[in-house]
Structure 1
């Protein structure tokens, strides 16, 4: 009995101290849940600034601007900037933009700041291109020629 109580206390303490980050990929996406609804709503809110950042980066190398689908956005980190119950957040997302029939062109990590004190309420604070994927032969015509 003491072991069970000790185990339950330890499990509860670890669950509180090390909660899982919000991630639709790590959750059961076959049924709706409160976590999945909040994740999807947040991704819709961030989709426009995310598309602008992706378009700005990839327009330098591709003739077609890649698409990011809200269900393919992975939440890496979430923080409250000013502490408990503040409404100033940072969200770090990882995306794989695609062209055509879901052909991944790269992998990127973006950090957004969200606050009612920001003029647009959403601000891109960091953009890191992690990986570039080579396009299949029949899609290479979309790659811009290299110039010095």
Structure 2
């Protein structure tokens, strides 16, 4: 969650005065992959989120790809907007 929230804040503070919030119940896991099969402990998650401002005023629907490494490293990649509200 902290990595997702930070990415959303970094992007939207260019356009909004209020910081959007991402809640766990507004995250959909679309796909989980293990790109190197049994040779590594890396998982790539494709997720969809709906950040909101205030009393759940949705601002956009976004897609993320997140790589989670076995050592605890997390990389957020491919931040995309797919729908405006």
Pair in the same fold by TM > 0.5: yes
Specify the alignment match of 1:140 in structure 2.
Answer: none
1:124 partnered with 2:76: yes
Whole-angstrom CA distance in 1 between matches of 2:34 and 2:16: 36
Bigger Rg, which one: 1
Please list, as runs of the form range in 1=range in 2, the aligned pairs for 1:65-144 lying within 5 A after superposition.
65-84=19-38, 86-116=40-70, 121-133=73-85
Any stretches of 5+ residues in structure 2 without a counterpart? none
Question: What is the number of equivalent residue pairs in this alignment?
Answer: 85
Specify the alignment match of 1:51 in structure 2.
Answer: 5
Any stretches of 5+ residues in structure 1 without a counterpart? 1-46, 134-148
Which structure has the higher relative contact order (CA within 8 Å, separation 6+)? 2
Whole-angstrom CA distance in 1 between matches of 2:12 and 2:83: 12
TM-score by length of 2: 0.91
Structure ranking higher in strand proportion: 2
TM-score by length of 1: 0.54
RMSD: 1.5
Query: 1:84 deviation in Å?
Result: 3.5
